[in-house]
Amino acid sequence: MNINELDTPSLIADLDVLERNISSMAKHCNEIGIPLRVHTKTHKVPEIAKLQVDAGSQGITCQKLGEAEVMVDAGIEDILIPYNIVGIHKLKRLTNLVNRAKIIVAVDSEETASGISQQAIVDGVVIPIVIELDTGSRRCGVESPLAAHYLAQKIEKMPGLDIQGVMIYPSNVNAKPFITETVDLLRKDGIPVNIISGGGTGSETASKEIGCTETRSGSYVYEGMTRIGNSEMLSPERCVLRVLVTVVSTSSPDRIIIDGGQKTFTSYPPTPYGHIIEHPDAKIYGMSVEHGHVDVSGCTHEFRVGERLSVIPLHQGMTSNLHDELVGVRGHIVETKWQIAGRGKVK
């Protein structure tokens, strides 16, 4: 099937670029000597997670339990969930998942740890735990080595939990004293620190330098804006995703309308929203829910209704979460269609 036979908007992945991004990161981590544990939040596609594991990732990371369930269903066997699992529904799902694969869970409070412990007792499982340290995300994570030590001591006493170490986000060299002091406190107390999990695409070297045992990288797989940081650098050579769209209106000489808007690209508004490969001079200047508004005043090309364009979306993770299917292409040939099975798993 040729790409031109696809209906629009379609989310497509350049498989050559995808494979290169996966192997480059695997090689990079291998060279600097830090085990990689990929984060799958960017793509949410089990088949891509398997490509990453096959390339050497020692397991995966899933931000939500629902995404981890999808990945275990697909045969992935080693998953870190760096998220406080709270509430009876999720706790039951967690113990169920622990019976099916190696699952490690991060916690940052006694309340979260206690909830997991209680359900682990009920369901007769032991759950590996890491303590999340806040090394700059100002999100979750305990805020000092003493707080980490205090929590580790509590966890050690909770049945059903198997403390394995710590987890940080993001990895950066400034975090080294925090980590070193925490690890020292725990080890002096006889608490095992087998895992020091670092994270953030681009922080692999920092993870190595500050003593992590693994590094979590996610956005490298697609190389979108969150990774590149500059929309001018979006290019088909490094970015995997495109949204194939159709021009549906050319009523005004300076403007064309494409058939994808916020519902297709996500609503985060920094222009240009995406990079049009065929016509880099055409600028997406706005989006309503179902329409993309493109300024073509700088183009010599005369656009016509029905013409197709390939847009590299800015926000590749959020864009992926809006689509049910990812079409894998090689050149102009459709090679595969993957369900984005982890899409919409908010729970």
Contact residues: a second copy, CB under 8 A = 7-10, 41, 63-64, 83-84, 86-87, 89-90, 108-109, 111-112, 115, 134, 137-143, 147, 246-252, 255, 257, 259-260, 262-264, 266-269, 288-291, 293, 304-306, 315, 317-318, 321-324, 344, 346-347
Q: How far apart are CA 16 and CA 200, in angstroms?
A: 24
E-assigned strand segments in the chain: 10-14, 38-39, 60-61, 78-81, 102-107, 127-134, 161-169, 195-199, 214-216, 241-252, 255-258, 274-276, 283-287, 292-295, 308-313, 325-330, 333-339
C-beta closer to a second copy: residue 78 or 290? 290
C-beta closer to a second copy: residue 216 or 323? 323
Q: Rounded to whole angstroms, what are the CA distances from 276 to 7, 339, 345? A: 18, 25, 30
Q: What is the smallest separation between the CB atom of 9 and a second copy, expressed in angstroms? A: 5
C-beta closer to a second copy: residue 63 or 197? 63
C-beta closer to a second copy: residue 55 or 247? 247
3-state DSSP assignment of residue 4: helix
C-beta closer to a second copy: residue 23 or 137? 137
C-beta closer to a second copy: residue 167 or 322? 322
- DSSP annotation string for 146-205: HHHHHHHHHHHTSTTEEEEEEEEES--GGGHHHHHHHHHHHHHTT----EEEEE-TT-HH
Q: What is the smallest separation between the CB atom of 20 and a second copy, expressed in angstroms? A: 25
Q: What is the smallest separation between the CB atom of 327 and a second copy, expressed in angstroms? A: 12
Amino acid at 15: L
Q: How far apart are CA 17 and CA 26, in angstroms?
A: 14
C-beta closer to a second copy: residue 90 or 208? 90
Q: What is the smallest separation between the CB atom of 27 and a second copy, expressed in angstroms? A: 27
Q: Identify the sign of the CA torsion 130, 133, 134, 135.
A: negative
3-state DSSP assignment of residue 25: helix
What would the two tokens of residue 346 be?
A: 């908010």
Q: What is the smallest separation between the CB atom of 278 and a second copy, expressed in angstroms? A: 17
What would the two tokens of residue 185 be?
A: 């406190």
C-beta closer to a second copy: residue 37 or 315? 315
- Are 214 and 203 contacting, i.e. CB atoms less than 8 angstroms apart? no
Q: What is the smallest separation between the CB atom of 219 and a second copy, expressed in angstroms? A: 11
Q: How far apart are CA 81 and CA 84, in angstroms?
A: 8
Q: What is the smallest separation between the CB atom of 30 and a second copy, expressed in angstroms? A: 28
Q: What is the smallest separation between the CB atom of 140 and a second copy, expressed in angstroms? A: 4
Closest C-alpha among 283, 279, 280, 285 to residue 303: 279
